[in-house]
Every structure is written in C-alpha cells, then in structure tokens.
Amino acid sequence: MSAKILVPAVILSTILFWILALVFPTQAALFLILRNISFGIFLFYGGLLLGMLVMLFTEYEGIEYKSLQREKFELTLKDGILIHGEILTGNTKDSSPVVLICHGHLGRMESIYLIAYPLVLQGYKVVCYNLRGHGKKPFKSGGVSFEIDKTSMDVQQIIDFIVSRPDLNHEKLAAVGFSLGGYILLTGGYIDPRIKLIIAFCTGHDWLEMTQFWKWYIRLFYKLMRLPIHPSEEFSRKISPKYFLEKKIENKIVCLAHAKNDRLVPYKAFLKNKELLGLPDEQTIEFDRGDHGFFGQTTVYLSQIIKWLNDYL
C-alpha cells in the first residue's frame, strides 16, 4: 500500500479515535486495555484497514486502456430527479449485448468498474448509473438514498433510455445487481420484460423479515442512514422480491448468488428466492464465506457472471 493512501488513513483513524475517546472515554480506554492493544498498534492497523477500504473503492477508477471508451449521460426521471450514468464500450459493435449493472446502497457507479471492465473486454457494452441520492459530485444523482420504493422502479426508465439509443442492442439486455441493486432487479427489473437475464447478488426476499434479522448495530447504522428499519407491511410489499417473483415472466432467466455468512441479508432469503423461482442449481452459486461483499471471492463470482452471460444471453 502506498504512503499516499496509508498516511492519510492513519491520520484519519487518529482523529476518529480521539473523537470516540472524547465521547466515550471509559469505553475507549477499556477497549485498548482489555484487548492489550497499544495506541501505536491501534493507529497502524486502523490506518491499514482504512487504506484497504479506500483502495477497494478506488483501485479500478484509474484504469485506462486504448479501447475503453466512457460516455457520461444524464437522464431526467418523470418526477424531475436527475440521474447520472455512464456507458462503457470497447471494441464492440451496435449489435453487441448490453449489460446494465446496478450498485448497492451507499455505493456509486464507479464501485462496479471491477465488473464492468472485464465485461467490456468480453465484448459486452455496459451501462451503469448512480441510484437516486447516490454518487460522488459532480455526478451525484438527485433525490434521497432511502426512497427505496422509488429507486426500485427507476430502473424501468433507465431501460427506456437504453431502448432509445440505436447503438445499444436492447434485444440482448441483461442486468447485474448487488445488494440494493439486486433488490431493484428482482422487483422493478423483474416485471420489465425487456430484461432477458437478471443476475442478482446478496439480495433479500422480504424486507420486513430482513430488518428483523439485523443485529442491533446494523439496525442503528441503517437508522442513521434513514433506511426503513420498521417498515409497514404495505411499504414492504412495494420493495420485497417476495411479492414480485410470484408471477412467472415468460422468457425471463434469473440467476442468484449469496454468501452463507452474509450479515446483512440472511442466507435463507436466497433459498426462498431460489425456491419461489424454481431455479436449477446451475443458475445459482453459494459461497461458504465472503459476507455481504463477497470478500475474497471476486475471481469466482466474476467468472460466474461471465459464464451466465455467455450461456443465457
């Protein structure tokens, strides 16, 4: 890890520790004493962890190669919200298949470059966008990030945009989504017949059921993020795949992936979605570990995405 990343990370971890120490002095002292952690070691590993997180979300942003082309686009939704997106192409043709990739909650379109770039090299055109309320200025989309019921249906207007482009082959359209992106595809995306293939990672089944699965600290975090942690049954019906997957869509292929130790979305949600859709094993993949972000499993799940696209699109 370069000093350019590590040094600011160590400084930031120092600031965060002192803020926590001032707010919770007893707890901070006990943490270091009981864990037998010196302040220097705490700062080093804290900075190292922060540096790794920074690299995780930025290492693909600087990739450049001759054939890669990026085109930024803006789309105004029917409710006036401005969405920022990007089209990634390489040595592709107008007839090349198109893959729409949807990031997760608190993510942004740049965070899925690690998926997009290999797909472009495989001959696919990739469309990605910042969900409402997500993104980094100056390309942050309008709206607020916790309006999940609206976010779930925004995808249909993104598809309208794809269809309007003569250089994008909407007859061969697939979509890949992670976490909230998977929710989007198994709700608003699932009922849209224009998406031929859906690949959803770490996606829930019933939002209300999932909120009851969360540990207290996850619940607290999402409460601060203003996510609906105590949703009404009516709201849950608007955003839960459970109520959308009951209807069989002709010629719609769905593939699912999940980690058994996912702390945000229960593994049984994956099993319920698989059963409801009646999916064969070859259209699913399970990981024993990797948690919600599939940490350490990138090579395998990326290879599986490419295989599913090649097999079913």
Domain boundaries, the chain: 3-58, 69-312
**The predicted structure's pLDDT at residue 99:** 98
Pairing of strands 69-76, 169-178: unpaired
| Per-residue tokens: 241 | 């795949």
Q: Kindly give the pairing relationship between strand 253-259 and strand 169-178.
A: unpaired
pTM confidence score? 0.81
Burial classification of residue 151, based on how many CB atoms lie within 10 Å of its CB (0-12 exposed, 13-18 middle, 19 or more buried): buried
Q: What is the pLDDT of residues 64-114, one digit of tens each?
A: 667 789 999 999 999 999 999 999 998 877 789 999 999 998 899 998 999
The superfamily CATH assigns to domain 69-312 is Alpha/Beta hydrolase fold, catalytic domain (3.40.50.1820)
Q: Which residues of the chain have pLDDT under 50?
A: 1-3, 32-34, 36-37, 44, 55, 58
- Whole-number pLDDT of residue 7: 52
Peptide bond into 138 cis (omega under 30): yes
Written as six digits, the tokens of 144 are: 């607020």
Helix (H), strand (E) at residue 172:
strand 169-178
Identify the CA nearest to 214 among candidates 230, 200, 226: 230
Identify the pLDDT of residue 20. 56
Q: What confidence tens digit (pLDDT) does each residue in 181-206 have?
A: 999 999 999 999 999 999 999 999 99
227: number of Cβ within 10 Å:
18
Q: What is the pLDDT of residue 101?
A: 98
pLDDT of residue 233: 85
